[in-house]
Each structure stands twice: as C-alpha cells, then as structure tokens.
Amino acid sequence: GAVVSQHPSRVICKSGTSVKIECRSLDFQATTMFWYRQFPKQSLMLMATSNEGSKATYEQGVEKDKFLINHASLTLSTLTVTSAHPEDSSFYICSARGGLSETQYFGPGTRLLVL
Amino acid sequence: GQNIDQPTEMTATEGAIVQINCTYQTSGFNGLFWYQQHAGEAPTFLSYNVLDGLEEKGRFSSFLSRSKWYSYLLLKELQMKDSASYLCAVMDSNYQLIWGAGTKLIIKP
C-alpha cells in the first residue's frame, strides 16, 4: 500500500508553546489530507480536511485558530498546535487520500504530551 | 443522520475464525473500507469493497451487500497478533469517510 510518513513521532512540550507536525505522502500525490485526533481508548475523531492550495475545512468544535493546517503541496500537509495546553495531549494522526479507490492511508501518528 | 454500527468487542480463540459485522446508513455510497488498529498505533488499511461480494486477501476476507447496507470482515486461522481494533468506514456521496467506533478483537490462546 501507499506510504505516509509523519514527523515527529513523539513530542513533549511545555504549556503555551506551539508544536508543528508534518505529514508527507511518500509515493503518491495526495490532493486531500486529513487530520485526526484520538484519545486513549476512544474512536478516531476527524479534526479537519485539507486540500492542496486551499483552506482547510474544520469539523464542528475544532478551533481553526488553534489548530493551523497548511497543505502547501501535493505531498505535504502540516498541523500546528498553537499555544498548546495539557488538554491538547493526544495522539494526532494524518491520512492522505490517493489512488483509484480514494483509499485513505494513515501516517504512523504523533503522540503529543503537553506538560 | 449517518452512522456505522459494529460490535464494541469480540473474543475469539487462536486458530479459530471470527466474523466482524458492520451495518451502515449513509448519504450515498462510494465504497466501504476496513482498517486494523493495534493499540497505540495508527490504523492500517485492510480492504476496500465497492461491489457486492467477497474480497479475499490471505487470511482476511471482506464481504459487502449494498442492498442490505451490510459488510463483514472475516478473519481465519486467528493469530495472537490479530488482537486489535477493526474499524469499518464508509465513503459517502461527498467522498468523506464515515467511521464506525471500531470493534476490539481479543484473541485468547
């Protein structure tokens, strides 16, 4: 299957700082990328959908000024958690959609811990 | 509204067969996906069905009946490493994935 990378895999930061997470589709072009958040033992929660070259579409309840998404190219999308707080600690997973079946392929995820 | 239903948890024995069902109600249908997610890891793609019938891929098979709004994932010759959550997702008419809550599969020796 297609490969999606995500960096960093794990980050610990102080409250109030900003954290940037990168998501790359390595062997295909992804016109659409998705950002999910998953708390322990809970379902995936879609945060936003991002299309290359346009503004991201955020799900209800997700603050667009707090979770900045940039999809600058067909292979790269970034999520910046601004002024992170302990309640933002979670597992953030990106996915990229590609191929004839429009399958979503997931990155390995980024575990964020805000102290 | 749109929703995907699948059992919360299932238990099976190593070497046995287990079937995980998924029923859905969505606005439009552009395919059904099954993903596997091990604890603490991101989901990995297992299968895609858009036409009725059975798709076999090694020990895993996925079945779709569009008229019954129903799918199942069949796992044969269960191994301990198959212990994971299995997520059913349907792509709606807007090409958005609607996710089920996942079925946690516990394999016992």
Q: Which of B36, B37, B57, B85 to mutate to test the interface with A (most CBs of A within 10 A)?
A: B37
Query: pLDDT of chain A along its 115 residues, tens only?
Result: 678 999 999 999 999 999 999 999 998 888 899 999 998 878 889 999 998 888 899 999 999 999 999 988 889 999 999 999 999 999 999 999 876 667 889 999 999 999 9
pLDDT at B95: 81
d(CA B28, CA A89): 35
CA distance B20 to chain A (A): 17
Average pLDDT rounded to a whole number, residues B18-24: 98
**CA distances to A88, B54, B78, B80, B96 from B86, in Å:** 26, 18, 14, 14, 19
Which of B42, B50, B100 shows the shortest C-beta gap to A93?
A: B42
Amino acid at A3: V
CA distance A29 to A41: 32
Q: In what side-by-side order are the strands of the sheet with B60-65?
A: B3-5, B18-25, B70-75, B60-65, B53-57
Largest CA distance in chain A: 43
CA angle B58, B63, B67 (to 5 degrees): 165
Give the mean pLDDT of B9-36.
96
What integer pLDDT is reported at residue A1 of this predicted model? 63
What is the residue whose two structure tokens read 């709004």? B69
Closest C-alpha among B88, B1, B71 to residue B36 = B88
Instruction: Give the mean pLDDT of B68-73.
Output: 98
What pLDDT does B97 receive? 87
Q: Which of A41, A24, A7, A14 is nearest to A111 (CA)?
A: A7
- Residue from the list B40, B42, B45 with its beta carbon closest to the beta carbon of A103: B45
Q: Is B63 exposed, middle or buried (0-12, 13-18, 19+ CB in 10 A)?
A: buried
**Distant-in-sequence, close-in-space partners of A6: CB < 8 Å, separation ≥ 6:** A21, A22, A23, A24, A93, A94, A107, A108, A109, A110, B42
pLDDT > 80? residue B28 = yes
Tell whether the model's pLDDT for residue B40 goes beyond 80.
yes
Please report residues of B whose CB lies closer than 8 A to that of A105. 45
Res B67 pLDDT > 90: yes
Q: Which two tokens stand for residue A42?
A: 């809970």
For residue B76, is pLDDT > 80?
A: yes
Task: Check residue A31 and give its pLDDT.
Answer: 81
